[in-house]
Amino acid sequence: MTGTGSTTAGAGREEDEGEREDGTAAVEERPEPSAVLGRLPTEAGLRRQLAAAARSRGRTASVAAEIDEIEAELAAIEIDPVDLTAARRRVAETTGETERLKERVAALRGDARARRAVDAEADETLDDLEAAAAELSAAQTEAIAAEQALERARAEAARNRDERQRRLRLRDRHRNRRRAASRELAEAVYPAFRRALAVVPGGDPSAAGAEPSEYDGDPVAASLAAVRVAAFDGVVELRGDAARRVAASERGARSLLRTAEVRVGADPDN
């Protein structure tokens, strides 16, 4: 049952589109109508199918220019990767080394003091102390340099994140406008879709309701009706339920779907 039900699933998914946010979806090109309707059953929801049908008939949404602008802006954004790992690690290492040497200096100092208190030989301890103090001083310099480098990297990352934030906002806006466009286009062809439902097998105009979201009829019939409404030159490939429906109909596939070429694909169910 690969074909059946996939359209309903698609319609459900489309409602969730605001929630489903993979980064790539936002910059993806508007699909060619034939990519949406060229093979039935389709994964696309009814609104997308009808929008594709509308576009194939030369309709454009009122927000089309705005969508183009957003896409141009998005295309112009260049973002470098942000990775402060090395800078953070260096800070951790140099700070750790400083702490270790501080402890060593303190221990040697205590040692030297104790030796002097009992008039014991302290020269060697004092030499060690001097060496450790020099090491500590070098380590502190290194730690400061590491802190400063991280600070600079963080400032750079903050600028980078401003751009990422801008890109995210644009992508969100892009997705909203795309959805608005799709809704507008689908509504524009809805009367034609309702009429087409009266013709295609399994179609029922009374199931159409007032708008795409109200459609509660058969999903395969809806896709066939969407293809009938559409006007594109490509081949329409029918599989599974879509193929069976059209084959069982008295009318020829080309007359039903009003397309130049209809091909019945290998049925994935058999």
Residue 78 contacts other proteins per CB under 8 A: no
- Pick the binder of other proteins from 74, 122, 168, 231 (CB under 8 A): 168
User: Considering only CA atoms, which of 138, 190, 178 is closest in space to residue 14?
Assistant: 178
Backbone phi, psi, residue 40, to 5°: -115, 145
CB nearer to other proteins: give 116 or 161.
161
Please state at what angle helix 123-188 crosses helix 85-117, rounded to 10 degrees: 160
| Helix or strand (DSSP H, E) at 238 | strand 235-238
Residue 171 contacts other proteins per CB under 8 A: yes
CB nearer to other proteins: give 58 or 81.
81
HEC states along 24-93? CCCCCCCCCHHHHHCEECCCCCHHHHHHHHHHHCCCCCCCHHHHHHHHHHHHHCCCCCCCCHHHHHHHHH
Span 122-161, contacts to other proteins by CB under 8 A: 157, 160-161
Which residue stretch of 40-48, 163-171, 184-192, 213-221 sits at the interface with other proteins (rule: CB under 8 A)? 163-171
CB nearer to other proteins: give 174 or 244.
174
Residue 22 contacts other proteins per CB under 8 A: yes
CB nearer to other proteins: give 76 or 117.
76
Q: Is 160 helix (H, G, I), strand (E, B) or coil?
A: helix
Residue 258 contacts other proteins per CB under 8 A: no
Residue 228 contacts other proteins per CB under 8 A: no
- Pick the binder of other proteins from 28, 68, 83, 124 (CB under 8 A): 83
- Pick the binder of other proteins from 104, 164, 173, 258 (CB under 8 A): 164
Q: Is 217 helix (H, G, I), strand (E, B) or coil?
A: coil
Residue 172 contacts other proteins per CB under 8 A: yes
| Helix or strand (DSSP H, E) at 237 | strand 235-238
Binding-site ranges for other proteins (CB under 8 A): 19-23, 25-26, 79, 81-83, 157, 160-161, 164-165, 167-168, 171-172
